[in-house]
């Protein structure tokens, strides 16, 4: 299902016109079912009487129809015919990468709004600015824009093998490529070298940009690179990494699902070696 999404801002919530509603609860989004796929709710405001519509945020325009995002704060969660709650993080197979980005935008903006109720400078209640995407303090005029946290992620190769590691915070046995957040005053390349050195103790070379992906958990922008091994022995930081090693395509451990940019890096490595694709 293809959509034409436009990033646009407005304050007014139309009471009668149908709009796309992106409703979230406990990391899940309420979507309409359409065969094996899903689509966003296209309903009128009056069809959501249980929800506090005043807290809704306008997030853009989808196929020339206004889009709004809102947290479901009801006791048991609202129910709409032919709909289901789908995990945003585990939604691959249910919605496309294009829709994941739109859902992610909605989720990020809701988290930003929930964390910016009061001015960080003087403590006064904040209000949405009428002409741009930000909150402004009516008392001291301080402005708070949506937060974006840049993070690097890198696939490192050595003699036909890929470096894969299991993070200490992973709740499963999944192995992935290395990633980390950019520090203030740091370039992306400096961040890559520092994170790799800190987490597994090696040096790298030939850093090349791959692609980027918004990652709304809660507000990251993942910037992906490839690199090559330059020297050193694998020495893991146990506070960050449980295990790490060099893996050939034939002996890969469990890897991330299709939606993650980490998986795109791993698939790119496999394609270069004409190795079979992984499910």
pLDDT at residue 142 is higher than 80: yes
For 185-241, the pLDDT digits (tens) are: 999 999 999 999 999 999 999 999 999 999 999 999 999 999 999 999 999 999 999
pLDDT at position 191 is 98
Q: Rounded to whole angstroms, how far apart are CA atoms 216 and 89?
A: 9
Q: How far is the CA of 255 from the CAs of 17, 96, 247, in angstroms?
A: 44, 20, 12
Alpha-carbon distance values, 160 to 92, 253, 268, 272 (Å): 29, 16, 13, 10
Looking at the chain, the domain(s) classified CATH 3.90.79.20 span: 5-114
| Mean pLDDT score across all residues of the chain | 92
Q: Which CATH class is domain 149-272?
A: alpha beta
End-to-end C-alpha distance for the chain, whole angstroms: 22
* pLDDT tens per residue, range 13-38: 777 889 999 999 999 999 987 766 77
The length of the chain is 279
Grade residue 96 by pLDDT with cuts at 50, 70 and 90.
confident
Q: Are 199 and 241 in contact (CB under 8 A)?
A: yes
What is this structure's pTM? 0.91
Q: Kindly report, residue by residue over 150-177, the tens digit of the pLDDT.
A: 999 999 999 999 999 999 988 789 999 9
CA distance readout (Å), 100 to 83, 147, 165, 261:
17, 19, 26, 12
Phi, psi for 143 (deg, rounded to 5): -115, 135
- Given the structure tokens 């249980």, which residue do they identify? 50
**How is residue 279 written in tokens?**
């499910």
List the alpha helices (DSSP H) in 118-276. Answer: 188-200, 261-272
Numbered ranges of CATH 3.90.79.10 in the chain:
149-272
Element at 40 (helix H, strand E)? none
CA 204/CA 157 separation, integer angstroms: 9
Alpha-carbon torsion angle 224, 226, 230, 236, nearest 10: 50
pLDDT above 70 (res 2): no
Spatial CB neighbours of 245, under 8 Å, sequence gap ≥ 6: 163, 164, 165, 234
- Radius of gyration from C-alpha coordinates of the chain: 21
Neighbouring CB atoms inside 10 A of 21's CB total 24
CATH of segment(s) 5-114? 3.90.79.20
User: Helices H, strands E: what count in the chain?
Assistant: 3, 17
What pLDDT does 98 receive?
86
* Alpha-carbon span 212 to 133, nearest angstrom: 22
* pLDDT for the residue 125: 97
Instruction: Give the rounded distance of the alpha carbon of 227 from its chain centre.
Output: 23
3-class SS of residue 264: helix
**Hunting for tokens 């910016």 — which residue is that?**
116
Dig out the tokens for 172 from the structure. 């499963």
Beta carbons within 8 Å of 111's beta carbon, 6+ residues apart: 216, 218, 219
């Amino acid at each position: 299902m293809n959509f034409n999404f436009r990033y646009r801002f407005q304050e007014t919530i139309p009471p009668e016109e149908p709009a796309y509603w992106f409703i979230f609860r406990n990391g899940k989004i309420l979507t309409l079912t359409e065969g094996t796929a899903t689509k966003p709710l296209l309903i009128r405001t009056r069809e959501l009487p249980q929800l506090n519509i005043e807290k809704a945020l306008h997030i853009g325009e989808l196929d020339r129809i206004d889009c709004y995002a809102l947290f479901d704060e009801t006791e048991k969660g609202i129910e709409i015919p032919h709909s289901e709650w789908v995990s945003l993080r585990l939604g691959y197979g249910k919605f496309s990468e294009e829709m994941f980005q739109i859902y992610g935008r909605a989720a990020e903006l809701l988290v930003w709004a929930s964390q910016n109720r009061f001015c960080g400078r003087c403590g006064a209640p904040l209000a949405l600015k009428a002409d741009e995407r930000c909150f402004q303090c009516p008392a001291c005029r301080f402005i708070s824009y949506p937060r974006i946290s840049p993070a690097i992620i890198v696939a490192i190769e050595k003699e036909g093998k890929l470096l894969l590691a299991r993070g200490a915070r992973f709740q499963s046995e999944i192995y992935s490529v290395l990633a980390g957040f950019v520090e203030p005053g740091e370039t992306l390349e400096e961040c890559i070298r520092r994170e790799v050195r800190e987490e597994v103790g090696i040096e790298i070379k030939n850093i090349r940009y791959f692609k980027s992906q918004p990652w709304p958990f809660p507000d990251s922008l993942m910037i992906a690179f490839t690199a090559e091994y330059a020297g050193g022995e694998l020495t893991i930081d146990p506070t960050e990494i449980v295990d790490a090693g060099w893996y050939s395509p034939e002996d890969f451990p469990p890897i991330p699902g299709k939606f993650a940019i980490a998986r795109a890096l791993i698939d790119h490595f496999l394609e270069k070696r004409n190795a079979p694709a992984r499910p």
